[in-house]
Amino acid sequence: MDKKSIEALMTRFEETGVTGPGNPRVKAIVRRLVTDLMLAIEDLDISSEEFWIGLNYLGDAGKRGELGLIVPGIGLEHFLDLRMDEAEAKAGLTGGTPRTIEGPLYVAGAPEVKGEARLDDGTQPGELVVMGGVVRDAKGNPIPHAKVEVWHANHLGNYSYFDQSQSAFNLRRTILTDENGRYKFRSIMPVGYSVPPGGSTDILLQQLGRHGHRPAHIHFFVTAEGQRKLTTQINIESDPHLWDDFAFGTREGLVPPVKTNSDAAAMTALGTDKPFYEIEFNFDMQPAKAEAPVTDFDRPRAAA
């Protein structure tokens, strides 16, 4: 069928079995997506067998809870970031800390701590890291009482809650900046995440000839009154996958230097006899602006 016949078919479908006006926005989106799928079936001559394999694959991925992992894996979540960047530029918002993908592993409800937090529960191996910095507005002024939500993987690349072997909210905290806009935490160095072997995402990536590894990274939501919510991550510069992330999350400006501190007094203060890592990273916020699409949009998220 050609495009005109498909469009006519879609119009007939829309006009059949009508019970009311429905939701015009949903109608427009469904019409477009179904039309585009039909066009793809035509253009690529997708067989019936391929079609049903695809449908079953998606149902299966949903059952396994992997749809939120496939989305970053095929680049859709990064695409949404790029669209948000464009919308902000159009609204006159430029500069600031780059955003990058949230991913599917945030859990709401992490313990709130003022100024300085320890993220790890002390039971797991890993190299000590101390990270801190200032949350600032677009003029460079520090923002006291800003909320820095942080979450990251353990030494095996696993996230608490999704990995039930870890304690509740291990490597997850909500830190409120102090009077000088500073946040600080100690934790253990994360290791890069990999998609579950044999899962839906893994099956797809294998068919695409791609791996399912991310470089080591630390996630952040930064929120403050009158500011746009910032969703971002920092990446660990030494990771071999730094610029080879299956989820396309690494961006210029999100790879801070990782220093090694071997000062004896500093080590003693942290209760360690080994040198530890130090990362300094500031978050530069954008002011709330009605013309730009909201960044604190709803999305189904886990909560504990």
What residue ranges bind ligand MBD (CB under 6 A)? Answer: 69, 72, 101, 103-105, 193, 214, 247, 249
Report in angstroms how near the CB of residue 242 gets to Fe ion at its nearest: 14
- Residue pair 221/230 in contact (Cβ under 8 Å)? The answer is yes
CB nearer to ligand MBD: pick between 158 and 174: 158
CB nearer to Fe ion: pick between 103 and 133: 103
User: Measured between alpha carbons, how far is 99 from 230 in angstroms, rounded to an integer?
Assistant: 6
Main-chain dihedrals φ then ψ at residue 116, nearest 5 degrees: -135, 130
Report in angstroms how near the CB of residue 112 gets to ligand MBD at its nearest: 22
CB nearer to ligand MBD: pick between 147 and 241: 241
Q: Which of 127, 140, 142, 130 is nearest to 176 (CA)?
A: 142
Q: Which of 96, 103, 104, 190 binds Fe ion (CB under 5 A)?
A: 103
Report in angstroms how near the CB of residue 33 gets to ligand MBD at its nearest: 24
Question: Among ligand MBD, Fe ion, none, what binds residue 182 when CB lies within 5 to 8 Å by partner kind?
Answer: none
Question: Among Fe ion, ligand MBD, none, what binds residue 279 when CB lies within 5 to 8 Å by partner kind?
Answer: none
Q: Which of 51, 65, 220, 204 is nearest to 131 (CA)?
A: 220
Sign of CA dihedral 140, 253, 294, 151: negative
User: Measured between alpha carbons, how far is 62 from 64 in angstroms, rounded to an integer?
Assistant: 5
User: Measured between alpha carbons, how far is 73 from 16 in angstroms, rounded to an integer?
Assistant: 37
Question: Among ligand MBD, Fe ion, none, what binds residue 72 when CB lies within 5 to 8 Å by partner kind?
Answer: ligand MBD
Question: Among Fe ion, ligand MBD, none, what binds residue 183 when CB lies within 5 to 8 Å by partner kind?
Answer: none
Q: Is 192 a residue that touches Fe ion (CB under 5 A)?
A: no
Question: Among Fe ion, ligand MBD, none, what binds residue 101 when CB lies within 5 to 8 Å by partner kind?
Answer: ligand MBD
Show Cβ contacts of residue 128 under 8 Å, excluding neighbours closer than 6 positions. Answer: 186, 187, 188, 189, 270, 272, 274, 276, 277
Question: Among ligand MBD, Fe ion, none, what binds residue 99 when CB lies within 5 to 8 Å by partner kind?
Answer: none
Q: Which of 241, 246, 217, 220 is nearest to 231 (CA)?
A: 220
Angle at Cα 110 formed by Cα 139 and Cα 196, nearest 5°? 105
CB nearer to ligand MBD: pick between 96 and 104: 104
Question: Among Fe ion, ligand MBD, none, what binds residue 110 when CB lies within 5 to 8 Å by partner kind?
Answer: none
Residues in contact with Fe ion, counted by CB under 5 A, come to a total of 1
Question: Among Fe ion, ligand MBD, none, what binds residue 249 when CB lies within 5 to 8 Å by partner kind?
Answer: ligand MBD
Report in angstroms how near the CB of residue 102 gets to ligand MBD at its nearest: 7
CB nearer to ligand MBD: pick between 173 and 214: 214
Beta bridge partners of 118: 186
Query: What Å distances lie between residue 177 and 148, 185, 219, 234, 258, CA to CA?
Result: 7, 11, 17, 18, 22
User: Measured between alpha carbons, how far is 26 from 24 in angstroms, rounded to an integer?
Assistant: 6
Residue nearest to Fe ion (CB): 103
CB nearer to ligand MBD: pick between 169 and 193: 193
Positions that interact with Fe ion (CB under 5 A): 103
